[in-house]
Amino acid sequence: MGSVKPSVAGPKRPQDRAELSNAKETFFEAFPDARGSDDALSHGSVVIASITSCTNTSNPSVMVAGGN
């Protein structure tokens, strides 16, 4: 158990795994244009997310719910 590290899936495919401590770097490696964006998030910003996986992508209501 001492070798288990927290991780997140993605950033592009659920089978890709990034250690939580490297999540920011992994994101910008996959999406380099996001680093130069002037769109800054601040406290209270609202962002839209899409919930997807191999089991629920065929159900559009689940994806719509991710945007609400």
pLDDT in tens, the chain (68 residues): 889 999 888 777 878 888 989 988 888 888 888 776 666 767 766 665 555 555 555 666 666 665 55
For residue 37, CA distances in Å to 8, 41, 51, 53 come to 23, 11, 24, 28
User: pTM of the predicted model, to two decimals?
Assistant: 0.48
pLDDT recorded at residue 1: 86
pLDDT recorded at residue 67: 57
| Closest by CA position to 22, among listed 11, 34, 36 | 11
pLDDT recorded at residue 62: 62
pLDDT recorded at residue 23: 86
